[in-house]
């Protein structure tokens, strides 16, 4: 197959590129390397994934921007599948400046679909959507305080399903721009017969994730614990997230490609079996590393959800997919990788 990965210098994109290159496919990565500049750590972040992929057979690296349709058209024309991971990924950044968030996430996604619609081979398009599309409707479900964690009431014990309303609520600009892409993916399947897979992702974590407080919190907590840097918790630490190790995510995409389904919208997250309060993640990291960072608490973030757990039964039913890596196993793999590459985080 010819596989195009937008945002391939990023965390999720680099894992997709690695998976398909190692399986013998021809991979084209396009990235504008903006995430690295955003973090002010160009030499550490994009450089690492860029170099990692450049050493792999079958990977072609293209520095380009998804906001430019003319760049995408020739790249996508003969492709079999496009994984669209490129995005402005931080909710916090979208609140400070919603313009680049909109242009990359909404227009950039539209461009990817247009390039696919005009392509001679009509590739499948996989979209990295997010649980943020459900907005603060999630907070209206209500929560039960169990002392060390919040929980959904019994009616949502299995999590939030794909049929949950995305309407009549606040989203944040990031939630709006990602939902725009989500809806266009659905529409291009219906209106133009494009094969699209919409994956509403929870917290994804893993190796080669250069997390910061604003995005990629799990990786950031692990990096901070290992380096002994202070950790700030927005809220009280009892908020619960269903977390998913990145190789399980790539497995879900692959199952869709192999499924023969024309179109799907599914939640992909750790589900109820991998739902953890963030304070518990910190305690696990402390146990694994034998280290303890100073911890402080700040206000809740706007629209932050006290609990988010995905109902992943649809992914199991239609794709035959479920997470294989437990929270403990995933954290161990991530900690091991950070410890082996500690030097780049100290730079
Ligand atoms: N990581 C998570 O927990 C998570 C959860 C839900 C959804 N998502 C979605 O998954 C996708 C991948 O996330 P990630 O964690 O790998 O983020 P990341 O920031 O590591 O990767 C995104 C990549 O896109 C690139 N990029 C940004 N704007 C671009 C543009 N205009 N043109 C070309 N490239 C551009 C960045 O340079 C970066 O390398 C995103 O679409 C994100 O919204 C991620």
CA 190 to centroid of chain Cα atoms: 25
Domain membership of residue 256 as a residue range: 2-346
- Residue in 275, 243, 277 with CA at minimum distance from that of residue 148: 277
Ligand 1 geometric centre to CA of 54 (Å): 19
Q: Which atom of ligand 1 is nearest to the CA of 46?
A: 39
What is the band of 212 on the pLDDT scale with cuts at 50, 70, 90?
A: confident
Q: Does the pLDDT of residue 41 top 80, yes or no?
A: no
In this structure, the residue with its CA closest to atom 34 of ligand 1 is: 31
Domain with residue 177: its CATH number is 3.40.50.720
pLDDT given at position 37: 60
Which residues line ligand 1 at a C-beta cut-off of 6 Å?
6-7, 9-13, 31-35, 65-67, 85-89, 104, 108, 128, 130, 178, 201, 203-204, 216
Q: Which atom of ligand 1 is nearest to the CA of 132?
A: 6
User: What is the DSSP code string of 59-78?
Assistant: EEEEE--TT-HHHHHHHHTT
Over residues 298-314, the pLDDT tens digits come to: 999 866 789 999 999 99
Q: What is the DSSP letter of 319?
A: I
Is residue 209 within 8 A of residue 44, CB to CB? The reply is: no
pLDDT given at position 45: 59
Task: Report the distance separating Cα 86 and Cα 32, nearest Å.
Answer: 9
Once rounded to an integer, what is the mean pLDDT over residues 230-255? 97
6, 7, 212: residue to mutate for ligand 1 pocket, most atoms within 8 A of CB: 7
Task: Report the distance separating Cα 189 and Cα 193, nearest Å.
Answer: 5
Q: Does the pLDDT of residue 42 top 60, yes or no?
A: no
12, 16, 221: residue to mutate for ligand 1 pocket, most atoms within 8 A of CB: 12
pLDDT given at position 344: 83
Over residues 70-89, the pLDDT tens digits come to: 999 999 999 999 999 999 99
Of 12-16, 32-36, 148-152, 180-184, the least confident:
32-36
Of 5-9, 58-62, 213-217, 225-229, the least confident:
213-217
pLDDT given at position 94: 93
Q: Which residues are catalytic?
A: 174
Higher pLDDT, 214 or 124: 124
Q: Does the pLDDT of residue 343 top 60, yes or no?
A: yes
Ligand 1 geometric centre to CA of 145 (Å): 33
pLDDT given at position 307: 96
Task: Report the distance separating Cα 57 and Cα 117, nearest Å.
Answer: 29
Please say whether the dihedral angle defined by the alpha carbons of residues 336, 340, 344 and 345, taken in this order, is positive or negative: positive
Mean pLDDT of the chain: 94
Ligand 1 geometric centre to CA of 155 (Å): 33
Both tokens of 87, joined, read 């995005």
Is residue 129 within 8 A of residue 201, CB to CB? The reply is: yes
In this structure, the residue with its CA closest to atom 39 of ligand 1 is: 10
Q: Which atom of ligand 1 is nearest to the CA of 84?
A: 41
Place of tokens 């990924």: 89
Domain count, the chain: 1
Of 4-8, 120-124, 177-181, 342-346, the least confident:
342-346
CA 298 to centroid of chain Cα atoms: 24
- Residue in 328, 322, 326, 327 with CA at minimum distance from that of residue 310: 322
Place of tokens 């509403």: 200
Place of tokens 């199991």: 316
Of 19-23, 122-126, 210-214, 274-278, the least confident:
210-214
pLDDT given at position 250: 98
Task: Report the distance separating Cα 87 and Cα 84, nearest Å.
Answer: 8
In this structure, the residue with its CA closest to atom 30 of ligand 1 is: 65
Phi and psi angles of residue 170, each rounded to the nearest 5 degrees, phi first: -85, 150
Strand 81-84 to 59-63 pairing: unpaired
Q: Does the pLDDT of residue 124 top 80, yes or no?
A: yes
pLDDT given at position 171: 92
What DSSP element (H or E) covers 280?
Answer: helix 278-289
Is residue 243 within 8 A of residue 327, CB to CB? The reply is: yes
Ligand 1 geometric centre to CA of 239 (Å): 24
In this structure, the residue with its CA closest to atom 38 of ligand 1 is: 10
Higher pLDDT, 39 or 145: 145
Place of tokens 């990145």: 246
Ligand 1 geometric centre to CA of 30 (Å): 12
In this structure, the residue with its CA closest to atom 20 of ligand 1 is: 10
Ligand 1 geometric centre to CA of 280 (Å): 26
């Amino acid at each position: 197959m010819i596989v195009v990965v937008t945002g391939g210098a990023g965390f999720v994109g680099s894992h997709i590129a690695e998976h398909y290159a190692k399986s013998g496919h021809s991979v084209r990565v396009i990235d504008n390397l903006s995430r690295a500049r955003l973090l002010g750590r160009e030499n550490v972040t994009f450089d690492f994934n860029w170099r990692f992929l450049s050493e792999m057979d079958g990977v072609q690296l293209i520095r380009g921007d998804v906001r430019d349709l003319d760049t995408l058209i020739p790249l996508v024309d003969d492709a079999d599948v496009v994984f669209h991971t490129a995005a402005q990924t931080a909710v916090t950044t979208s609140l400070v400046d919603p313009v680049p968030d909109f242009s990359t996430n909404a227009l950039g996604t539209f461009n990817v679909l247009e390039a696919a619609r005009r392509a001679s081979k009509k590739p499948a398009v996989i979209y990295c959507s997010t649980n943020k599309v459900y907005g603060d409707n999630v907070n209206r479900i209500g929560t039960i305080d169990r002392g060390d964690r919040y929980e959904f009431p019994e009616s949502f014990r299995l999590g939030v399903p794909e049929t949950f309303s995305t309407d009549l609520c606040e989203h944040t600009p990031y939630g709006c721009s990602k939902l725009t892409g989500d809806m266009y993916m659905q529409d291009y399947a219906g209106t133009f017969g494009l094969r699209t897979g919409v994956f509403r992702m929870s917290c994804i974590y893993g190796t080669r994730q250069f997390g910061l407080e604003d995005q990629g919190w799990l990786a950031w907590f692990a990096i901070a614990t290992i380096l002994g840097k202070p950790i700030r918790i927005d809220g009280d630490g009892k908020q619960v997230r269903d977390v998913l190790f990145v190789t399980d995510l790539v497995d879900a995409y692959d199952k869709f490609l192999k499924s023969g389904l024309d179109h799907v919208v599914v939640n992909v997250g750790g589900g109820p079996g991998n739902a953890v309060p963030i304070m518990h993640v910190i305690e696990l990291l402390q146990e694994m590393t034998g280290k303890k960072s100073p911890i402080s608490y700040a206000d809740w973030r706007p629209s932050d959800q006290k609990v988010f757990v995905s109902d992943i039964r649809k992914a199991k039913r239609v794709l035959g997919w479920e997470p294989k890596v437990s929270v403990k196993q995933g954290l161990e793999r991530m900690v091991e990788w950070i410890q082996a590459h500690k030097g780049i985080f100290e730079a």
